Structure 1
Amino acid sequence: MNTEMLERLWRSWAERGAVLTEEQWATPTRLPGWSVRALFAHVAPDPAIMAAMRDARVAGPAAATDGAEVLRIFNAPGGLAHAAADDVAVQASEAAARLDTDELLRRFAEDGPRALAELGDIDPATVLPHPHLGAVTYQALLEVAIVDVTVHLLDLIAAVGGPPVPRAALLGTVQVLAAVPDPVEFIEAATGRGAIAVLPVMR
């Protein structure tokens, strides 16, 4: 997974949002309590956060070095994906009410890609601060971001339609999600041999 894929996905969100009607912006999604606008607000890149990453480095080991590891920690029983789910929904709704449509779309089409370019050629193994895990690699952050916007893009399409998700993003997301559970348990479940339920791996 790479920055080009993330930028392509962001621009896809911008293009889809540009043709939505007011009614479609308010359409409920399959996530209870989430409108299409809340979905956009949730995945919109925050240029301020990305700018802070330019000079942020952490000495020492990372709590997670890839996206699957981050998702494994977040989605463990009692993990952040469960404990903070209601707070995340509230934050998305509040951001949706605060940001007008032009600003939302600008974040996807201009602000996010520009901030990503300003990060330059950061080594994927660079360790950066993380508000919940302490420190993770840049690669882990990038992979989680791509999974997040891809999964929610499927939510968006389910709500209001639109062109399919880029195949490269789908395959990359599958690769990360398949690496979240124990590999033996996943293989046994996927081939109909195991009795342990391994899905879902992400809330």
Structure 2
Amino acid sequence: MILDALGQAWRGWAELGKSLPDARWDTPTRLDGWNVRHVYAHYADAPATLAAVIRSETASAAPSFPDAASLLRHLQQPGGIAETGADSIRDAAVRSTEDRSMGDLVEQFATVAPEVLADMRTRDLSRNFDYGGHGTVQIGEALRLALMEAVVHYFDMAAALELDVPGPMAGAPVRDTVALLAGIADPVNFIDVATGRAGSPVFPVLR
């Protein structure tokens, strides 16, 4: 279940945050201009953001995007938010580390996240909501996006800190992330390349 996978991933973030020595937060990552502190801060508000989502009003009956892959494909299109907003997203993460303590950011996964997950288990995850003005999608599909981000950005930090991967993301978090990323690719090209029948470019599918 998506909530179990998300809970597992968030526990991994909490454990990393609690165990990391102060000096290692400034370790540069493979993302240009981002250190571990910035990556952690960028994703730290995910639990609180999703808490607001599950309490939001239901949008129109028919979602604009039938699943997480189609929404991601829209966001990743040339000129889309993933391209035009990249610098502002990085800058916001940097500012967040200046305005808040790392202890507060870690608490988002250690304390806030379990409360949010417990609330989610009482909610209808098939409801639609407005995804930042880009269109509507089911809450459950938005959770798949949040899980993908948790896995990808954990790997960013793990690579910088020389931690074992997949580590706490092993199992359902990684499997669901792989399925989501594969779903973004052109299906015919993906099958042909994956089976060695063609060499046309498929990756990357995500900025």
Residue 167 of structure 1 and its aligned partner are, at CA, apart by 2.4
Alignment of 1:1-203 (within 5 A): 1-46=1-46, 48-53=48-53, 54-163=55-164, 164=167, 165-203=169-207
Q: CA deviation at 1:19?
A: 1.5
Write the distance in 1 (CA, Å) between the matches of 2:181 and 2:101: 33
**Within 2, Cα distance between the matches of 1:22 and 1:55?**
37
Deviation at residue 32 of structure 1 after TM alignment: 0.4
Equivalent pairs, count: 203
Q: CA deviation at 1:46?
A: 4.5
Structure-1 separation of matches of 2:195 and 2:51: 44
Q: Mind listing any 5+ residue stretches in structure 2 that lack a counterpart?
A: none
Rounded Cα–Cα distance in structure 1 between residues aligned with 2:115 and 2:134: 26
Return closer, same or farther for 1:185/1:175 CA change in 2, 3 Å cut-off.
same
Partner deviation per Cα, 1:41-88 (whole Å, 9 max, x = no partner):
111135553343214211232122322112111111222111111111
Asked if structure 2 preserves the Cα contact closer than 8 Å seen for 1:29 and 1:156, the reply is: yes
TM-score by length of 1: 0.92
Q: Which has the higher helix share?
A: 2
Q: Distance in 2 between matches of 1:160 and 1:49?
A: 27
Letter paired with 2:106: L
CA distance in 1, matches of 2:47, 2:187: 36
- The whole-number CA distance in structure 2 between the counterparts of 1:126 and 1:156 is 33
Aligned-partner residue type, residue 6 of structure 2: L
Contact 1:64 1:140 in 2 (8 A): no
RMSD, matched Cα: 1.7
Aligned counterparts of 1:92 and 1:59: Cα–Cα separation in 2: 32
Stretches of structure 1 that go unaligned for 5 or more consecutive residues are none
Contact 2:28 2:160 in 1 (8 A): yes
Over the matched positions of the two proteins, sequence identity in percent amounts to: 35
Rounded to whole Å, the distance in 2 between the matches of 1:36 and 1:93 is: 11
Change (3 A) 1:194 1:124: farther
Change (3 A) 1:68 1:161: same
Task: Give the secondary-structure state (helix, strand or coil) at the position aligned to 1:179.
Answer: helix
2:130 alignment partner, SS class: strand
Change (3 A) 1:46 1:142: closer
Q: Call closer, same or farther: CA 1:45–1:112 in 2, change over 3 Å.
A: farther
User: Are the aligned partners of 1:70 and 1:144 in contact in 2 as well (CA < 8 Å)?
Assistant: no
TM-score, normalising length from structure 2? 0.91
